[in-house]
Structure 1
């Protein structure tokens, strides 16, 4: 194990192995990676473990520097493991470069079906045995990491000392259709709030959409910026600074040239990393699968449900001289046409969208009998996770304590510094 230092912390690299398919423990093994973080002042102390599960799906654990965000507060009490969930970061990454080794699209889809919350939690169990010697540990789950933590409570509560969830209490029984039927009105509210804050952006967004409707732009790296792709910039509106970020993008969109106004290089370069899934392709490929259970396909739920909300139809908005509606955390078939990181995975994604043999993710009866201290931050009108669903689930988990707040958006655990984690620890410990 390699150890090294950053300001105020000691970092140690850990490598683990786990079965690719936990149903076949003697079969193929994959390598998992986690970064241990301890306070430099407590590096040799016998502290309990906390494992952090990042949001996603498909996102590696955040690469903090020193005691950024919540990490400084957590290292006062814990040895923290920043786990790259399977398929991400340094844990058997899955992408257009690696997946062809699995064979054709059907083999790839079967393979990726093993990369959901149920497998991630069983990975955690294998790692916990090695790190703690079998002692229970604390889980901090952000967004999709909270979905994983809820599955953990449903399958191995005896392994958990405490569970902290930030913006990630899932519905226990909603189909993907239900998730997006609730999501589009929330997205609309975020867009309307943005335009109320920056009314000049109504015309700016329409102007950009009109230009892209005439001729999609080819971004650096081969991404095709269509009107629909431009609308998906609304994903940033779920973060605390997202509205301001979008405003600054839009104000810098055009440059005057000898041939007239054109989309600026600066704008195109700025939107590319927001839209591209090159760094986290599983976010797109498995996104709707995180809601799948009980024999029904997801079948491109976000795309189908969008038809129920005509205000998101860009062509109609432009024709009727209405404000352009941005979209949010929704994945569509066209993502696999415009993004070069996803194009080779289009057929694989289609097969996953049609899959019906998804196992249940949550056990309502076990959650109703829960004895593990659980505290959850629920962000009022969270764009990514439905607040009503979260509160309904909170009522279904015995002893779970919530902090419902509109001080922060979905990224509150990062934006608040130590405050969100400190508040949740106090709730879980009955100090509040």
Structure 2
């Protein structure tokens, strides 16, 4: 973080994130008066967490283009007008220009028009809290609102713009910056890898709060089945207790195949080793210093992932970005659209909107030559459907960390307890 933007809670950013310019004095030079000014600002702005989110987005924009620090605070009408246009732009809106006129890569983090207006209110409040006059006049707001209205028409009937996709580069950076021998990080990596390669929504791998975990709704350790298919390739099957494409009371299965260095199966093995758990414990969970198991909360997961991506100047992601990125990955490997539709378990044709996200990735050549392309090519073989045998459910020995193996079926496949390593099963007959 910059000294002007220290690491702090979101609700503190409006007061602690500064500019290099000195605001004009609005009171007499006396310590008591200045103290009263500061506490009056903080008393007026009591709920500042949402302001912190908008302020971070503004600084992301200023870093992307880039804007001199002296021009960020105070901000001009021209700068804020540009920020508002960028904030609501779907990547496909600028796609043709980026392809024909420049080789520059411009990241987008699209939000709805209503959210963009809240961002402008955030910057307005930030100026006041820092002692600057309001940056926008009523006439300025009118002009920006007119532009936002035209951008809203471009968005059509979509309730919100397509989220930016996670790419293989981003997934590689996430793994490289996580100590996967630590419970919290091991869980985040398993969630990230599974959500990407299986095109899963983050609400399927995380909960909104610790108390909201329900084993009848969320996936548990007993819902994971590991084994080998008829060609000898390892696989994992996740039985989702609830899915919108399944009938009421029925589970829906997701099949996971090997995926090279970023393999979700290896991530699940590592999760089981680092965080042993009971059958009804959450699959994606972590263990605290007292040994207690906690389900992974979505907000904390996204915050940890965003801390990595922003450090690499990729901006921020959303839970849906993994699902979009996974779809883009398979489209890049020329997997048929209908297979992506089925594998991603879309109930409607909404998945087709992700083609735009894929085109953005392809246009700016995010999947570069070299190791990343090699990983993608190696992983492409896993995109085809392989014959799968009958499955023996994963069961637990009843204690955390106690391995149990279940062998034998009519087809001779092996199914293993979720807690050993793949090497333990090499050579099994």
TM-score of the two chains, using structure 2 as the length reference: 0.25
TM-score of the two chains, using structure 1 as the length reference: 0.25
Instruction: Identify the structure with the greater strand proportion.
Output: 1
